[in-house]
């Protein structure tokens, strides 16, 4: 099989993403960038918090909301109160919410020292726990076997004119329309992503043994549900409240991802064997080198899963019987990084310097931030093992190339682009003022605006009265053009999943706390891996 940088792919073996529809080379990556663009002045996760808000929420224009969510479900004592709204509307989509928690947990595990150095370690843990506490409500977390998961709260149908989360433009505090709860009796991808979120968070909360154990057990329960062969229909299949918005294009990538995180969380080799099973790799098309599959998103976990498993090879060298698959994952991870380099023309780039990871379609920045994080983490893995770089075909590149790619893309997001526009609200002198977000666009006055009464704020030409600081919006088009228009969500809507990738990338690149990763914490539950001997060859027969 040929590749984009010449020659053949020397690897063994052998779902694309889908979305709802002046240079700053010396940019300060520490507290100024991370906390100013979000944490101390209103991190997007905090603006999206739902339920009875914690005292440290700190967003003056937010209040308690969604307190009746799930109250009509007879098997739920406290309903489904809590969690995060997804984007500019008031829907709780559990699939991207889970992915956001996994990404935040991963960044904390690798870069705890950096979070501590900027004084945000306890804060980010609070944000993760707000999400995982909610995920534990969405299934019977005290059971060892379950037959359903609550997959969404709120939402709408395309074209509907009934009061709902899309038709109405209201603060979440003012919602007075019915909020449907969606139930999935089959959820191979949602359940596996929930398992990844809880397993990774169990490592973050290793200093709280009771909570960590609860997360671990919950992760194992939902992963068993995900792996149930009788329940392999996509969680969103035929559901008009989910499929048009967060449609899943496959689940084997989540199974590899969830299994990898469960291995780290539990040390159970069964999960490691599953994550390195050639059938899983074949079903994910891991070795086909399809460009779309090297793009990390809420829908496609494959490149992250392979990088996470490559970490085991780099640091533990488990040998047989895992080495062949891990070497293949390592090779593909290297080629994924090659595909992010402009010289190989795997992806188009805008003239202003942004890599186009979604074929020039809208809302590209979430993919850019995720790619920057993967490149930065891979560089840190190589550096921690004394490896100076990696190969793209016959060419060897130092790890600085990976950091340069990640830095260039984050600089673009933060304002080093043709419009000198920061796409992170509140960062720099020029940023979007008409963010597609209900709560941010409606003034904090004593007026309760009705479903249609809020349209005046949606359609107003004036800037949002509330600054949703820290929110990365959808971003520019493939001509580096951007329309700061509230009704044009493809440019101006932020998402929780996209912002989790932004935070992860930023913390990986900050110099605060020193360079590099925490090499060992992720392995705290993993027993020593001693290579076993390969089976002897069959006896020779004349």
**Rounded distance between C-alpha atoms, residue 426 and residue 41, angstroms:** 9
Spatial distance between the Cα atoms of 208 and 113, rounded to a whole number of angstroms: 18
Is 484 one of the catalytic residues? yes
Q: DSSP of 469-536, one letter per residue? A: TT-B-S---TTS-----TT-HHHH---HHHHHHHHHHHHHH--TT-SS--SSGGGTTPPP-PPPPPPP
In 138-269 the beta strands, taken as DSSP E runs, fall at: 149-153, 181-184
Half-sphere exposure of 219 (CA within 13 A, CB side): 33
| CB contact at 8 A, 254 and 301 | yes
Considering 15, 45, 120, 493, which one is annotated as catalytic?
A: 493
**Closest among 436, 431, 484 to 41, alpha carbons compared:** 431
- Token pair of 539 as six digits: 């006896």
164, containing H or E segment: none
Backbone angles phi, psi at 240, to 5 degrees: -70, -10
**Enclosing H/E stretch for 536:** none
- Cβ atoms 433, 464 nearer than 8 A: yes
Cα(291)–Cα(306) distance, integer angstroms: 15
Cα dihedral 112→116→118→119 (10° resolution): 130
Cα(11)–Cα(335) distance, rounded to whole angstroms?
10
| Token duo for residue 172 | 């979440």
Give CA separation, 447 vs 351, 430, 434, 464, in Å: 46, 30, 21, 16
- Contact between 397 and 389 under an 8 Å Cβ cutoff? The reply is yes
Six token digits for residue 54: 């914690």
Between CA 180 and CA 91 the distance in angstroms is 10
Write out the two tokens for 205: 């909360």
Helix (H) or strand (E) holding 330: helix 323-339
Active site residue 493: yes
| Selected catalytic residue, list 323, 480, 484, 518 | 484
- The active-site residue, picked from 436, 437, 477, 478, is 436
Active centre residues (catalytic): 436, 484, 493
């Amino acid at each position: 099989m040929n590749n984009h940088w010449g020659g053949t792919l020397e690897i063994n073996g052998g779902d694309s993403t889908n979305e709802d529809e002046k240079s700053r080379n010396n940019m300060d990556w520490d507290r100024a960038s991370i906390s100013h663009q979000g944490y101390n002045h209103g991190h997007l996760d905090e603006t999206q918090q739902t339920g009875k808000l914690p005292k440290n929420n700190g967003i003056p224009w937010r209040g308690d909301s969604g307190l009746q969510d799930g109250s009509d479900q007879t098997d739920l004592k406290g309903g489904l109160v809590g969690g995060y709204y997804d984007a500019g509307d008031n829907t709780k989509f559990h699939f991207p919410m889970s992915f956001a928690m996994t990404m935040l947990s991963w960044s904390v595990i690798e870069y705890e020292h950096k979070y501590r150095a900027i004084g945000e370690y306890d804060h980010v843990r609070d944000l993760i726990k707000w999400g995982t506490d909610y995920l534990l409500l969405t299934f019977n977390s005290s059971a060892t076997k379950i037959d359903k998961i609550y997959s969404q709260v709120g939402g709408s149908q395309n074209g509907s004119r009934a009061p709902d989360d899309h038709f109405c433009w209201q603060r979440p505090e003012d919602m007075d329309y019915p909020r449907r709860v969606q139930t999935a009796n089959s959820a191979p991808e949602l359940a596996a992503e929930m398992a990844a979120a809880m397993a990774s968070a169990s490592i973050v909360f290793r200093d709280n043994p009771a909570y960590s154990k609860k997360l671990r057990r919950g992760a194992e329960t939902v992963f068993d549900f995900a792996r149930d062969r009788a329940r392999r229909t996509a969680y969103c299949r035929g559901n008009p409240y989910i499929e048009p918005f967060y449609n899943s294009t496959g689940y084997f990538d989540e199974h590899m991802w969830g299994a990898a995180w469960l291995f780290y969380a539990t040390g159970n080799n069964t999960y490691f064997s599953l994550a390195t099973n050639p059938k899983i790799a074949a079903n994910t098309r891991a070795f086909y080198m399809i460009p779309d599959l090297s793009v990390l998103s809420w829908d496609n976990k494959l490149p992250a899963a392979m990088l996470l498993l490559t970490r085991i090879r780099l640091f533990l060298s488990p040998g047989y019987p895992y080495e062949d698959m891990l070497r293949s994952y390592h090779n593909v991870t290297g080629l994924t990084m090659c595909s992010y380099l402009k010289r190989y023309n795997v992806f188009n780039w805008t003239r202003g310097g942004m890599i186009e990871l979604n074929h020039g379609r809208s809302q590209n920045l979430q993919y850019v931030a995720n790619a920057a994080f993967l490149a930065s983490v891979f560089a840190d893995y190589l550096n921690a093992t004394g490896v100076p770089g990696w190969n793209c075909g016959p060419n060897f590149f130092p790890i600085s190339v990976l950091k340069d790619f990640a830095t260039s893309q984050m600089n673009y997001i933060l304002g080093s682009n043709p419009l000198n526009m920061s796409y992170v609200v509140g960062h720099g002198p020029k940023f979007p003022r008409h963010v597609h977000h209900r709560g941010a666009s409606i003034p904090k006055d004593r007026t309760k605006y009705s479903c249609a009464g809020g349209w005046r704020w949606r359609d107003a030409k004036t800037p949002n009265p509330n600054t949703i600081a820290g929110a990365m919006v959808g971003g520019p088009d493939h001509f580096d053009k951007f329309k700061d228009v509230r009704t044009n969500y493809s440019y101006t809507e932020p998402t929780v999943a996209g912002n989790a990738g932004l935070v992860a990338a930023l913390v990986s690149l900050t110099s605060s706390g020193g360079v590099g990763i925490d090499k060992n914490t992720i392995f705290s539950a993993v027993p020593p891996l001693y290579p076993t001997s390969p089976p002897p060859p069959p006896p020779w027969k004349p």
